[in-house]
A and B are shown apart, each in its own frame.
Chain A
Amino acid sequence: MVSQLPVLQVILPLMAAPLCLLLKRSTLVWLFCLIVSFLSLLISILLVQQVSTSGPIDYAFGGWDVPWGIGYRIDQLNVLLLIVITAMSSVVLIAAKESIAREIDPEKHVYFYILYLLSLSGMLGIVATGDAFNIFVFLEITSLSVYALIAMGRHRRALWASYQYLIMGTIGATFILIGIGMMYQMTGTLNITDLSVRLAELPQKRTILTAFVFIIVGVCLKLALFPLHLWLPNAYTYAPSIVSAFLAATATKVAIYLLIRFTYSVFGPSLSFAAIPLQTLFMALGLVGIFVASVTAIYQTNVKKLFAYSSIAHIGYMILGFSTGTVAGLTATLLHVFNHALMKSALFLALAAVMLRIGSVQLSSMQGLGRQMPWTMAAIVLAGLSLIGVPLTVGFVSKWYLLVAIIEQGNWVVAGLILMGSLLAVIYVWRIVEVAYFKEPATAQKGDVLEGAAGGSTEAPLSFLIPIWLLVGANIYFGIDTRFSTQLAQSAAQSLFGVSP
């Protein structure tokens, strides 16, 4: 059965999704999803072990050899993403039951879990596959389910946010499809390994260049890279809290993965970085993104939106690492993929707890919450410190790697700008701390409060505190003992450059 692990990774949640319809009862379905998600996590841990001991795993669907059939190829880069996605999904799901009970109508709970599992398996499928068209198919599964999940948000604006994302996301997916089609036309193959060999041999470059541009723009739309980020803040803000936590931890990471996969594994660094000034462009966009998004975050009154903008800023950091085009830079990017997932899932889960108790995530309604929900707010503070990049947290580790990679290239100006960007993060995290700890608890809230939110709010239930503090603990643990995460990121980056670890 070990040789079947790659397919089980994706098929398990995929087959579990329709089974949910047969279970019907909300609690039962939740339990089922939780088990499935943790089994997926177990599979990805086994895959990590297997890849680190015996190298990349190839899996041929239907027993057809690639490139005739579809093949999965699990290598050092995939496993990093697989473990991030499954771990985040599992931890977030622990809290899902209570959060969903509060935010979604009971008769829609089953649909929610089905869509959740579908989006999970879609992301896993995108990451695991070694076939360009298969990427598109699973991208569609993910996108469709995520649009619906976002639209399930309580607020009426969730529909509009989902619609915006649907339009932008569909354009992105279509661009990716056009690019894949052009590549197929020029090479006659869809398999990624095969593509990279045949693309390098091609004498004519113009069609391939067009394909490259379409794919990069399409992926950047999904990535919410500045200035294509406009869909993200609303989508994260108005989605159900659990969905925000899951998406913030995983969705953009999958897009980063696609960017790396297409530039390094499909087109190859020589074509990707020589044809158009991609590195300079990404460095500029990354920096502008960090500053614009961080400054915008400072002025937000909705904490979910604040962290959504902070997500856009952090995508900027990842892109900066990517734009260096070195092993060190890519290691920093991948490390930040891992670490940022830990920070943002902790923050958004804590916000889900706040939503559960006081029915709002407006900054003004969080006054004095430090005393009413001490554990939740302490988690926000610690994860916020990680977001800033304070030593002993994961945020510090990835920023350190990023700085080293940038300075290695002698780019002191950019390094200085990164540090300034972190200072902006201090400001927006401080705003929350100030409101939560140094303001008197507000009495009767007006507006933006869900019905049933009693005045005296109490600490979140254990089903929230356990996952939140698991994540906060991970933020600190991987900030001190960096062996696991850095080794994963480093071997992934090295494998892309063909360096044997």
Chain B
Amino acid sequence: MLLKDLFAVTMLLSIYGLLSATFFVAMDAVDVAFTEASVGAGISTLLLLVVISVTGRRERRVRHKPYAALFVVILTSMLLVFGTSDMPYFGSADAPIHNHVAPRYLNDSMQEINVPNIVTAVLASYRAFDTFGEVVVIFTAGIGVLALMSVSSKALSKSQPLNRPRGLYEQHLVIRIVAKTLFPFIFLFALYVQFHGDFGPGGGFQAGVIFAAAFILYAMLFGLDAATKVIKPAVIELLAALGVLLYGSVGIVTLLNGGNFFDYDYLLADPIAGQHLGILIIELGVGITVTCVMIMICFGFSLRRRAYEQKVAIRPKEGAV
């Protein structure tokens, strides 16, 4: 409310994300912390920066005073404080969450799914349908951005390239060279996170975000043209859909093999191997969709900005005529 500089607000938000990630670590929820660090502090900051590059850095002055909103916030927080009064203490062994559903996850998941990281077992098998829903949410967000921000490719290619002042990527040679050496390691780390999710914190969501962050970094340093040359926006769209389809098709195969939706036991003759295969494929689907949607959103805004800049560049001429 006080800050008018959107860049500073974005940075604060990023710091907030990182701090909450440390909270989650303190609470022993390393998977959540990892997600929060990569999504809250990482990719969402990047995406907000891309947005700021379109909207401009300063917030427009607003006349009304948001007292009503403040009132709602105070009321909500009072209610939340009231709600904590009956809660079990943090870490208390006889809290309901530790005694009802969780014991089976802790005790039996090794025999039933045989994945050391229980969080992955819950996300990818016990509650696989929720995770599928989340992937569809991300896909929906990507399509939503495309539906609103997409600029027809014809309009872009027809107009001549402009001699506007070049961005970061032409001026800062050192950053480019240093970053270039970093990319292989970032990609390698993303792959590690992707395929190590069964054993430690990680999985498709985090890996996808890291992949996308590397790619967006590339686009920032070497320009949009270079980035779209690496992978075309149309291909990205198809891949995003493919990730969702890959995830869903695991369910379809289990249906056809006579099991319930997402019952990986039916994938292979050996149920445990089936569980492993199922989790591997759906994590891959998650990774692909998350990566592509993040890149899609970034491209959407960047292309929009370019179209806007071209419009601005053309308009004075029309005025003169």
Contacts and interface: CB of A to CB of B under 8 A. Distances in A.
A184 B99 CA distance: 12
A115 B143 contact: yes
Contacts of A118: 136, 139-140, 143
A151 interface: yes
Interface in B213-229: none
A210 B87 CA distance: 11
A108 B265 CA distance: 41
Interface residues of A, number: 63
Query: Interface on chain A toward B: helix, strand, loop, or mixed SS?
Result: helix
A112 B148 CA distance: 10
Given A11-B251, A137-B133, A18 B140 contact: no
Given A18-B245, A204-B86, A187 B261 contact: no
B133 A61 contact: no
B260 A63 contact: yes
A401 interface: no
Contacts, number: 172
B146 A111 contact: yes
Nearest to B85: A206
A92 B133 CA distance: 25
A67 interface: yes
A19 B241 contact: yes
Interface stretch (B26-34, B40-48, B124-132): B124-132
Given A148-B147, A206-B83, A11 B262 contact: no
A427 interface: no
Nearest to B98: A188
Given A111-B147, A185-B88, A18 B139 contact: yes
A118 B245 CA distance: 14
Interface in A126-155: 131, 133-134, 137-138, 140-141, 144-145, 147-148, 151-152
Interface stretch (B3-11, B14-22, B101-109): B101-109
A268 B15 CA distance: 42
B150 A108 contact: yes
Interface in B94-138: 95-102, 104-105, 125-130, 133-134, 136-137
B67 interface: no
B100 A188 contact: yes
A64 to B, nearest CB: 5
Interface in B240-274: 240-242, 244-245, 248, 251-252, 255, 259-265
A70 interface: yes
Nearest to A171: B72
A15 B245 contact: yes
B147 A137 contact: no
Contacts of B148: 148, 151-152, 159
B163 interface: no
Interface-central residue, A14, A68, A112, by most chain B CB under 10 Å: A68
A67 B238 contact: no
Interface in A93-108: 105, 107-108
Given A14-B136, A62-B125, A141-B133, A111 B143 contact: yes
Interface string A22-66: 100000000000000000000000000000000000011111100
B83 A211 contact: yes
A115 B86 contact: no
A4 interface: yes
B96 A60 contact: no
A18 B289 CA distance: 11
A125 B141 CA distance: 18
Contact of A145 (B79, B140, B260): B140
A7 B132 CA distance: 13
A187 B83 contact: no
Contacts of B245: 15, 18-19
Given A111-B143, A111-B146, A133-B130, A63 B100 contact: no
Interface of A: 4, 7, 11, 14-15, 17-19, 21-22, 59-64, 67-70, 105, 107-108, 111-112, 114-115, 118, 125, 131, 133-134, 137-138, 140-141, 144-145, 147-148, 151-152, 159, 178, 182, 184-190, 198, 204-211, 213-214
* A-B pairs with lowest CB-CB distance, top 8: A210-B83, A188-B100, A148-B144, A137-B133, A18-B241, A63-B263, A111-B147, A188-B96
24 contacts: A4-B261, A11-B252, A15-B245, A18-B139, A19-B241, A59-B260, A61-B129, A61-B261, A61-B263, A62-B264, A68-B105, A107-B152, A115-B144, A125-B133, A137-B137, A140-B140, A144-B144, A145-B143, A148-B143, A152-B147, A185-B87, A187-B96, A188-B96, A189-B101
